[in-house]
Amino acid sequence: MSDIPPAGAQPTVAEKIFTFVDERVGLKLLAAKMLNESVPGGSRWAYVFGSILLFIFIMQAVTGVLLMFYYVPTADHAYASTQYILHDVDYGWFLLSYHFWGSTAMVVCVFAHMSQVFLWGAYKKPRELIWLVGLALFALVMGFGFTGYLLPWDQRAYWATTVGVEIMDKIPIMGDFLARFLKGGPTPGQMTLSRFFVIHVMVLPAALIALAGLHLFLFRCAGPAGPFRGAPAELKAKTDYFFPRQIWKDVVGMAVVFASVSAMAFWEPVVLLEEATPDPGDYHPEPEWYFLFIFQHLRLKMFSGEFGQFLGSMGLPGLLGVMLVLLPFFDRSPERNIFKRPFALIGWVMLTASILLFTVSAIINREFLD
Amino acid sequence: MQPQLKSKVHCSDREVGEVSRVIMDPLSHEVSHLVVSMNGAGERQVPMGAVQAVTDDLVQLRTSSSEVMGMQPFNREDYVTLHEVEIPGLEKHIHVTPGEVLVPFPELERNVKRRAFFANLTYVTGLFIGLPLVYPVMKFLMKPMYAPLDNGWLKIGHIGKMKVEDAGIQFQYKRKIKEAYLHEAEIEKNVWLVKASPAVLEKVYQGKDMEFLNASGEAIWTNKKDVPFLAFSGKCPHLGCAYKWRKHKVLGQVFLCPCHLSIYDASGRVLDGPAPRPLDMLPIQVSAAGEVQIIDMEFKAGTKSQTRIV
C-alpha cells in the first residue's frame, strides 16, 4: 500500500503504534477488506440510504443516552423531567428535538431504503436473507417510534399509546394477553411507562444492533446487487470500490440529514401538551404522522364493527407483512428491471399512493374536528 | 482445469517461463489472465484466450514466444490481492493453489468417539439453565397484569348541572390511585351523563332494569329503568379514545369520537362510524339531595360484547 514510509526514514510514534496494532490484529488487511468492497456498476447517490440509516441510528443512540441523564421514567416525574430537559437544561430542547426529528428522518429513510431495494429487485436470489432481516429491522424501527412516543407522558403520548395498545388487543387469541403484558395492567400507567422505557432504551437497541450487524454481514456475503441493466463489460468498466467514491456520497448524505434534522429541531422544537391523564380535555388524539394513514383508514366504514376493525388494524397490515416476507420466495424470476415487472411497479405505486392519500386526508380531517 | 502456479509455459515454438500469478475477473469470477515470469526477462500478462491446453504442470499457449514477449508487461500496482478485497464468492472459483496446506490434527482429538454426544450435552446444559427460568421470569413480568376490579362508589358531582333533557354533560372527577411503589396519586377522568327523556330511557332499557355483576357473577347494582339519569363511561368503545358531545351537521347533537369518527346518540346507540357496540353504561345512583355517584368501570374497546377491565 502507498502509505508505507520510504525505507530508511525513522517511523513516527503514530506509525509505531499503528504497526504495533497492525502486527497483532491485521489492521491494514481489515481496513482493506472493509473499504475495498466492489460496487458493481460504480458508486451512486441512490445507494446512500443504508449508510444514512446507520448514521441516524448512531445519532439517536447518542442523543437518547444524553436525554437519559435527566429523564425519569415514572408517572409522577416523566412529564416534569421532560419539561426540565426542554426548559432548564442547556441545549436540552435541541437534543430532545433532534431525537424527535431524528425518528422522523429514520422513518423517511427506511421507506426510501425499502422502496429502493424493492424497485431495484435487490431482494431476489441470492439476497433473500438480507431482505428478511431488513423487514425485521423495519418492525424494530416502528417499535422504537411507538415506545418512544409514550415517554414524555403528555396527553399526546398517553392517547397514542391507549389507541395503539387497543389495536394490539385485536390480535386473535394472544391479543388480550399481549396488550396487558405491554401495559403491565388493564390501563396505561406507571407499569406501562416502565415497560415502554426498558423496551425503548434496552430491548430494541440490543435487537437493532444485533440485526443491523447481521444485515451488514449478509450484505457482505452476497455483495451489492448493482444496477438492473447494463452489459457485464460496461458494468465492469464502471465498477469501483466502496472507498472513496461511495463513502464520499454516503458522507454527504449523512451531512444533509444532519443539517435537515438540526434545522427541524431548531425551527420546530418539541412542545409538550398537558400532562397525561385519562381525561383528554380539548385534545383530539392523533398518532405520529407516520402512523396517520393507519389511523385514518380505521375511520372508513368498511373497517367498522368487530370484524372490520380486526381487518383494518390487524388483518390487512398483517397480510401486507406476510406478502413482504414471502416476496423473494414467490417472485423468483431473475428479472430485476422494474420496468419489466409491472405487478411490482403497480403494487408499489398503489401502496405509496394510498399511504399518501390517507395521510393527507387525515390532515384535512383535522380542520373539521375543531 | 485451471492453470496451476509454477506450471511451465510453452509457446508454439519454445518454453518461455512459468506461471507466477493468476488474475481473476471480478464479475465472471473466472481466471482472466496468467502472469508469466519470462525466465528473468520480466513478467507478461497473458489472456486466457491465448491458452490452448492446461495439464498438471504445463500450460500450452497458441501464440509464439515473440508474441508473448510483446504482450503487456505485468504491473503489480494495478492489482490488489484476494485478501484485500471483498468480492463475495470469488474464493470459491479459484483452484490454483499449488497444493493443500495442512495443519496437524491434535493427538488428543484423533480417537474421540463421542463428538456428537458432547455437542448435544452443550445444548442440554443450556436447556437445564434456561428452562427453569421460564416460569419465574414470566411470573416476574406478569405481576401487574391482572388487577382486581374496584366496585367502590365515586362521588362525581351534582345533577344541578343537567338542565336540558337528552343532552350529554361531562362530569370530570378525580380518582385516587395507588400504583405499586408510587405514592398515592390522583388521575383525572370523566364520564358523560344524560338526563334522559322517557323515549331515550326506553331505548336504553327496553323495559328492563340493568343489572351489574362483579367478577364472580354476583349482582352489585341495578340501574332502575325509570331513573332518568344515564352515565356512560368516557371511553369510546371503538378504540378507547375520549368522545365528546358535539353538534353534527346532519345528525344534530351527538356523541362524537374525534379519533375514528364514531357517532352515538344520547342513548349511546351507534349512529355512524366504526364502533362495534353502543356506549358503555355505568352503575349510577342519585341521592335525594342530587349528589351523583358512579362505579368507575372501563371495558375493552373494539369488541361487540362488553368485557370489563377496570
CATH number reported for the structural domain that contains residue B244 in this entry: 2.102.10.10
Q: What is the mean pLDDT of residues B51-77?
A: 91
Cα–Cα nearest to B62, from B73, B72, B52 = B52
Q: What is the mean pLDDT of residues A173-178?
A: 91
SS3 content of chain B, % helix, strand, coil (to 5): 20, 35, 45
Of residues B273 and A367, which shows the higher confidence score?
B273
Q: B97 pLDDT exceeds 90?
A: no
Provide the shortest C-alpha distance from residue A192 to chain B (in Å): 10
| B139 belongs to a structural domain | no
| Partner-chain contact A239 B145, CB within 8 Å | no
Cα–Cα distance list, A172 to A146, A175, A353, A365, B162 (Å): 21, 6, 29, 31, 42
Residue B80 belongs to domain with CATH number: 3.90.50.10
Let me know: does B71 contact B45? Beta carbons within 8 Å. yes
Residue B74: partners with Cβ closer than 8 Å, 6 or more residues away: B21, B35, B42, B43, B44, B45
Give the model's confidence band at A5: pLDDT under 50 very low, under 70 low, under 90 confident, else very high: low
| B38 belongs to a structural domain | yes
| B107 belongs to a structural domain | no
Interface residue A299 vs chain B (CB under 8 A) = yes
- Strand B291-295 relative to strand B284-286, pairing: antiparallel
| B278 belongs to a structural domain | yes
Cβ burial, residue A346 (10 Å; 0-12/13-18/19+): exposed
- Which residue in chain B is spatially nearest to A160 when comparing CA positions? B241
| Partner-chain contact A304 B275, CB within 8 Å | yes
B66 and B167 fall within a common domain: no
Helix (H) or strand (E) holding A82: helix A78-87
Q: Look at residues B53, B70, B93 and tell me which one is the last residue of a structural domain.
A: B93
Chain A positions in Cβ-Cβ contact with residue B310 (cut-off 8 Å) = 186-187
pLDDT in tens, A10-61: 899 999 999 999 999 999 999 998 999 989 899 999 999 999 999 999 999 9
Parent domain of B246: 153-295
Looking at residue B104, its pLDDT comes to: 82
B163 C-beta neighbours (distance < 10 Å), count: 9
Residue A61: partners with Cβ closer than 8 Å, 6 or more residues away: A205
Q: What is the mean pLDDT of residues A130-137?
A: 98
d(CA A243, CA A114): 24
d(CA B95, CA B21): 12
Q: B134 pLDDT exceeds 50?
A: yes
B164 and B280 fall within a common domain: yes
d(CA B159, CA B229): 9
A107, three cell numbers: 422513518
Chain B positions in Cβ-Cβ contact with residue A304 (cut-off 8 Å) = 273-276
Identify which of A32, A36, A285 has the shortest CB distance to residue B258. Answer: A285
Give the model's confidence band at B90: pLDDT under 50 very low, under 70 low, under 90 confident, else very high: confident
| Partner-chain contact B298 A181, CB within 8 Å | no
Let me know: does A283 contact A154? Beta carbons within 8 Å. no
A29, three cell numbers: 488487511
Query: Chain centroid to CA A365: how far?
Result: 27
Rg of the Cα atoms in chain B: 43
A157, three cell numbers: 403520548
Looking at residue B109, its pLDDT comes to: 82
Least confident among A73-82, A255-264, B94-103: B94-103
Q: B290 pLDDT exceeds 90?
A: yes
Looking at residue A1, its pLDDT comes to: 45
Degrees to nearest 5, angle at CA B242 with B240 and B243? 115
Chain B positions in Cβ-Cβ contact with residue A29 (cut-off 8 Å) = 83-84
**Secondary structure of A154-197 in HEC code, one letter for each residue:** EHHHHHHHHHHHHHHCCCCCCHHHHHHHHHCCCCCCHHHHHHHH
Q: What is the mean pLDDT of residues A299-319?
A: 88
Q: B276 pLDDT exceeds 60?
A: yes
Q: A105 pLDDT exceeds 90?
A: yes
Q: Measure CA of the first residue to CA of the last residue in chain A; give whole Å.
A: 68
Residue found under cell 362483579: B214
Q: What is the mean pLDDT of residues B266-288?
A: 94
| B104 belongs to a structural domain | no
| B259 belongs to a structural domain | yes
Interface residue A33 vs chain B (CB under 8 A) = yes
Q: Look at residues B49, B72, B93 and tell me which one is the last residue of a structural domain.
A: B93
Q: For all residues of chain B together, what is the average pLDDT? A: 91
Least confident among A28-37, A212-221, B1-10, B167-176: B1-10
Q: B89 pLDDT exceeds 60?
A: yes
B155 C-beta neighbours (distance < 10 Å), count: 11
Of residues A115 and B161, which shows the higher confidence score?
A115
Helix (H) or strand (E) holding B194: strand B185-195
Residue found under cell 496468467: B34
Q: What is the mean pLDDT of residues A108-135?
A: 96
Q: A286 pLDDT exceeds 90?
A: no
Q: Which amino acid is at A56?
A: I
d(CA B24, CA A285): 62
Interface residue A315 vs chain B (CB under 8 A) = no
Q: A80 pLDDT exceeds 80?
A: yes
d(CA B281, CA B298): 10
ipTM, 2 dp: 0.85
B169 and B249 fall within a common domain: yes
Give the model's confidence band at A4: pLDDT under 50 very low, under 70 low, under 90 confident, else very high: low
Max mean pLDDT range (A16-25, A229-238, B111-120) = A16-25
Phi/psi for B19 (5° steps) reads -70, 120
Q: For all residues of chain A together, what is the average pLDDT? A: 93
d(CA A295, CA A284): 13
* Number of domains, chain B: 2
B184 C-beta neighbours (distance < 10 Å), count: 8
Q: What is the mean pLDDT of residues B127-132?
A: 96
Give the model's confidence band at B2: pLDDT under 50 very low, under 70 low, under 90 confident, else very high: confident
DSSP A201-222: IIIHHHHHHHHHHHHHHHHHHH
Let me know: does A147 contact A199? Beta carbons within 8 Å. yes
Let me know: does B161 contact B173? Beta carbons within 8 Å. no
Give the whole-number percent of chain B exceeding pLDDT 70: 99
Q: A3 pLDDT exceeds 80?
A: no
Helix (H) or strand (E) holding B213: strand B210-213
Looking at residue A370, its pLDDT comes to: 60
Chain A positions in Cβ-Cβ contact with residue B238 (cut-off 8 Å) = 309
Give the pTM: 0.90
Residue B77: partners with Cβ closer than 8 Å, 6 or more residues away: none
B162 and B255 fall within a common domain: yes
Identify which of B145, B242, B301 has the shortest CB distance to residue A279. Answer: B242
d(CA A51, CA A56): 9
Q: Which amino acid is at B227?
A: V
Let me know: does A261 contact B172? Beta carbons within 8 Å. no
Provide the shortest C-alpha distance from residue B105 to chain A (in Å): 25
B81 and B161 fall within a common domain: no
Let me know: does B185 contact B176? Beta carbons within 8 Å. yes
Looking at residue B98, its pLDDT comes to: 66
Give the whole-number percent of chain A exceeding pLDDT 70: 98
| B123 belongs to a structural domain | no
Ranges of each domain in chain A = 48-223+234-285
| Partner-chain contact A239 B86, CB within 8 Å | no
B291 and B201 fall within a common domain: yes
Helix (H) or strand (E) holding A329: helix A316-330
B85 and B162 fall within a common domain: no
Of residues A366 and B291, which shows the higher confidence score?
B291
Q: B1 pLDDT exceeds 80?
A: no
d(CA B242, CA B256): 9
Let me know: does A303 contact A297? Beta carbons within 8 Å. yes
B172 and B267 fall within a common domain: yes
Q: Measure CA of the first residue to CA of the last residue in chain B; give whole Å.
A: 77
Q: Look at residues B48, B63, B93 and tell me which one is the last residue of a structural domain.
A: B93
B88 and B160 fall within a common domain: no
B84 and B163 fall within a common domain: no
Looking at residue B154, its pLDDT comes to: 94
Give A48-223+234-285's CATH code, choosing from 3.40.640.10, 1.20.810.10, 1.20.1250.20, 3.40.630.10: 1.20.810.10
Give the model's confidence band at A367: pLDDT under 50 very low, under 70 low, under 90 confident, else very high: confident
Q: A133 pLDDT exceeds 90?
A: yes
| B132 belongs to a structural domain | no
| Partner-chain contact A163 B89, CB within 8 Å | no
pLDDT in tens, A111-122: 999 999 999 999
Give the model's confidence band at B99: pLDDT under 50 very low, under 70 low, under 90 confident, else very high: low
